[in-house]
Amino acid sequence: MQIGIFAKTFARPTLEGVFDAVKSQGIFCVQFNMACAGLESLPDRIESSLATMIREAASKRQISIAAVSGTFNMTHPDVRQRRDGLRRLHVLAESCAVLGTSIITLCTGTRDPENMWRRHPDNDLPDAWRDLIETMHEALTIADECDVTLAFEPEVSNVIDSAAKGRALLDEIKSNRLKVVMDPANLFHTGELPRMREILDEAFALLGHSVAIAHAKDLSQDGDAGHEAAGQGVLDYDYYVKCLRRVGFDGPIILHGLTEAQVPGCVAFLREKLNMPGV
């Protein structure tokens, strides 16, 4: 497994500055966000010259772009919002070959009209599932056209709020272009922390062989709040790494949810866990 980081962790005025900051921490893999290039995360337009500049700036520093963030609210209650997200996703997907990546990360969204990271009671209604399926099918048509893979992240505030629902989504969609971002810090509903290993075992049993990339952050409490930098919370990282290895995962494990000042400590923590004998 290769340690990576959200490029957005480093706020710099230039692309070169962002990648220099990544390299200075001994990291050579990123999940990129177009905000690092001065655009919206899902832009209206990406000039091919800019995409080339991003790829070349990363390549010059031996940094690979493991994935690019394409998050939008896939189950927004306003269909116009969903369609605008799909249009922008198409713009991003068309640039992936030039950027040098083939994975776009997604969230499955929420019925909350203002905040796609906020739980809404309507997330569990049949029409939310229907709209997600419709949006995901359209997103995968884009993925087919642009030869990219889409990776969604189960998250307790979203419609896909558990590994079981993630498995149901994969089974209904039936596309080799749909994969998973595994982030265990997002899997625990209120009251579930005492069942940590059971929840992790279930997640990897259901989704482990569909994981495209893994995330590394931590949590101080269950539910939809309380995220911490990796190693600063209660997540059983020894067991998390063991689960990743159990399913044969050898891809990037991406740090996020941390400040720049926390990066050296989190990198050291993750290296220790990945190198620990017997884990």
Alpha carbon distance 71, 57 (integer Å):
23
pLDDT of the residue at 227: 87
pLDDT of the residue at 223: 74
Evaluate whether 109 touches 158 at the Cβ level (below 8 Å).
Answer: yes
Alpha carbon distance 55, 238 (integer Å):
34
pTM over 0.85: yes
pLDDT at 7 over 90: yes
Evaluate whether 3 touches 231 at the Cβ level (below 8 Å).
Answer: no
The 10s digit of each residue's pLDDT in 37-90 is 999 999 999 999 999 999 999 999 999 999 999 999 999 999 999 999 999 999
Q: Mean per-residue pLDDT for 219-242?
A: 89
The 10s digit of each residue's pLDDT in 110-132 is 999 999 888 999 999 999 999 99
pLDDT-derived band at 278 (thresholds 50, 70, 90) equals: low
Give how many domains the chain has, as a whole number.
Answer: 1
Task: Tally helices (H) and strands (E) across the chain.
Answer: 8, 10
Evaluate whether 189 touches 203 at the Cβ level (below 8 Å).
Answer: no
pLDDT of the residue at 88: 98
What domain range is 9 assigned to? Answer: 2-275
pLDDT at 265 over 60: yes
pLDDT of the residue at 240: 97
The 10s digit of each residue's pLDDT in 142-183 is 999 999 999 999 999 999 999 999 999 999 999 999 999 999
Q: Which of 208, 136, 138, 88 is nearest to 128 (CA)?
A: 136
Please count the CA atoms within 13 angstroms of the CA of 54 that sit on its side-chain side. 27
SS3 253: strand
Mean pLDDT taken over the chain: 95
pLDDT at 16 over 80: yes
pLDDT of the residue at 225: 64
List the beta bridge partners of residue 228: 218
Name the residue with tokens 């911490």: 228
- Residue 53 sits in a domain whose CATH number is 3.20.20.150
